[in-house]
Amino acid sequence: MENAVEALKMAGFMLIFIMGLSVAMFMLSRATFTADSIIQNEDRQSTYQYIEVENPALGLARTVTLADIVPTLYRYHTERFAVQFYDASGAPLTIYDDEGGEPRNDLDLNTEIWYDDLGEKHTASWVGNRQLINNHIDSVVKNLYNYYEDTNFIERLGIVEDNTADPDGTGDTDIDINKNYKRIITYTVMP
């Protein structure tokens, strides 16, 4: 009888051990899945679309239509690059008027947040909310299609030093290996 009781205890402990091992394996697999999804979401280049240079003499430039430009406009805030528009003479091309009524030729998160003379921070009403940003881009796209539907643009890719991030607050713009660079995509109306 004592052997039967000991055997039942051992079987019970084995069941508890197997259940514990199953729970541990389940948790480890969930942790792996979560880590993989976080890494995928943090990969800033996961949505980049690379282009092939058709004419090396022009550098990173290509001829595009509004249908090519629209996806870029919807990605500017997630990938943190700037999009600028110019007319055929090189003058800024107004794509919308900001909240102060000033004409704007760019979509750039750095210019949609500004400080007044008193040092108070102001942001455009659509900044910080994905749906409001998409609504703003919808209105920009509608405006572009109203005036430039059958127009071709020259797309140029470039980078510029991003001096908006001043970590020590000194305004010092000395050469630094830790400077940030920002991508800028420029669209110019073809003559």
| Percent of the chain at pLDDT exceeding 90 | 15
Q: Which two tokens stand for residue 116?
A: 């007044």
Q: Which is higher by pLDDT, 121 or 108?
A: 108
Model confidence at 114, pLDDT cuts 50, 70, 90, reads low
Is the pLDDT higher at 119 or at 49?
Answer: 119
Question: Could you give the CA distance from residue 145 to residue 110 in angstroms, rounded to a whole number?
Answer: 25
> In the numeric block, which tokens belong to residue 53?
């240079």
- Residue 59: closest CA among 159, 189, 151: 159
The pTM of this model reads 0.59
Domain chopping of the chain, boundaries: 2-41, 56-189
Question: Average pLDDT, whole number, for the chain?
Answer: 78
112 secondary structure, DSSP code: S
Q: Are 17 and 25 in contact (CB under 8 A)?
A: no
pLDDT attached to residue 20: 95
What is the pLDDT, as a whole number, of residue 26?
Answer: 92
| Per-residue CA distances from 139 to 10, 100, 101, 136, 161 (Å) | 71, 17, 15, 5, 29
Contacts of 65 (CB under 8 A, 6+ apart): 151, 152, 153
Residue 123 to residues 100, 165, 171, Cα–Cα distance (Å): 12, 16, 21
| Residue-by-residue DSSP string for 42-59 | H-GGGG------S-GGG-
